[in-house]
Amino acid sequence: MSDGALSQDEIDALLAGVDSSGLTAAPQAAPSAAMTAGPPEGDRQALQGFLASTVEAQSSNLAMMTGAPVTIRGPQVSFSSRDAFLSSLPDTVTAVKADFSSGFPGEHSFIIPEVTARAIASLMNKEENITLDEMAMSVIGEVVSQLVGTQITSLTGKTGNKSIASVSPEAANVPKAAAALPAGEFPCAVYQLDLGDGNVHQIWEVFGASVAGDIARALGGQASPGMGAAMPGMGAMPNMGMPGMDMGMGAAMPAMGGMPNMGMGGMGMGMMGQPASVQSVQFPNLVPRASSQEAGNIGLIMDVYMEMTVELGRTRKLIKEILGMGEGTIIELDKLAGEPVDILVNHKLIAKGEVVVIDENFGVRVTEIVSPMERMSEMS
């Protein structure tokens, strides 16, 4: 008599979908395409192609931000599980969450090895042996913000989706097991990063599976040539391979008349026996620029006055020294003679320059525009 526990044979039978009596097979539902086919190869190729198209702009942006000859190569996109992905990482990483909040909402992050994060922060802050403290994490977050911004600009141009946005990136230096990763299989892109230090670094970009699928579909990643893409309400129409015939929307199909040319430009609306007129498409350069809406919004504040000041230098004095000042007292500042002066707008440093004389008035000639990272450093 059984004590209620399952034997190993019964456990194996249940796992195999077989009734434990061995008499009948338990009915099993037919596996779905998503369960059997795995991640679509078209999604992977579309995502990899898109990311590769942005690396030149990404390299230029990082080179400008760091002042170093930065080069990004790749990426190579593959699907991975959490365990497999973690096994390829060093023990400690800088994880930067940059989820998409709209357009293609979902999980999105960058994983940067600790040594690489330290090298990037050192370049940005012009400081050696930097500590990955809160300030360094904000610098890494700003770098990722620039990377994501370039991707969003390019993705908007390619898909026409103007609602794409991401949350403000948040960076944290954590053990690799603490990095937030999507569940199940997810796509990850690995980049080769050359910071001009003679070393090749790696960084990973991770997407949620749903995010990658939505992006790939918007880019046409699963669309096949000709009529391979399915139309609403009907299955995908196969390419019949007929010579001299473009299998566009206007092509005649068996058992149905030729579909009329609906006047849709660029769809290859060739009729039976008439070759379609095919022209190459000229795509604009992928240069980040402000949208017309953004330009219009900026125009609303163009006539607003802001206070601009030029600061020769600063110093700190004890209260007793300040109270003891009188006419003829000389105050020594923290700048050397001939050193550039600071130009501030609403008390925020934006540029540096040299003092000049215009007629009988002092002026300042701008010699350097301060980088965003230096502005952040001044505000902290």
Q: 188 with 315, same domain?
A: no
DSSP H or E stretch at residue 165: strand 165-166
Q: Look at residues 164, 199, 219 and tell me which one is the last residue of a structural domain.
A: 219
Q: Which residue in 217, 186, 164, 221 sits closest to 109, CA to CA?
A: 186
Q: 68 with 215, same domain?
A: yes
Full domain range(s) for residue 189: 41-219
Cα radius of gyration (the chain): 30
Q: Does the residue 372 lie in any domain?
A: yes
4 Cβ neighbours under 8 A, 6+ residues apart? none
Q: Look at residues 169, 198, 219 and tell me which one is the last residue of a structural domain.
A: 219
Q: Does the residue 3 lie in any domain?
A: no
Strand partners, 357: 362
Q: Which residue in 107, 102, 219 sits closest to 163, CA to CA?
A: 102
Q: Look at residues 178, 203, 219 and tell me which one is the last residue of a structural domain.
A: 219
Give the pLDDT of the chain (380 residues) as one tens digit per residue. 445 556 655 555 555 544 434 434 444 444 333 333 446 788 888 889 999 999 898 888 888 888 888 889 889 999 999 999 999 999 999 999 999 999 999 999 999 999 999 888 888 888 787 888 888 888 898 889 989 999 999 999 988 888 999 998 989 999 988 888 998 899 999 999 988 877 889 999 999 988 888 998 898 854 333 333 333 444 444 444 444 444 444 443 444 444 444 444 444 444 445 556 666 565 555 555 555 555 556 677 777 888 899 988 889 989 988 898 888 899 988 888 888 999 988 888 889 998 888 888 888 989 888 877 666 665 55
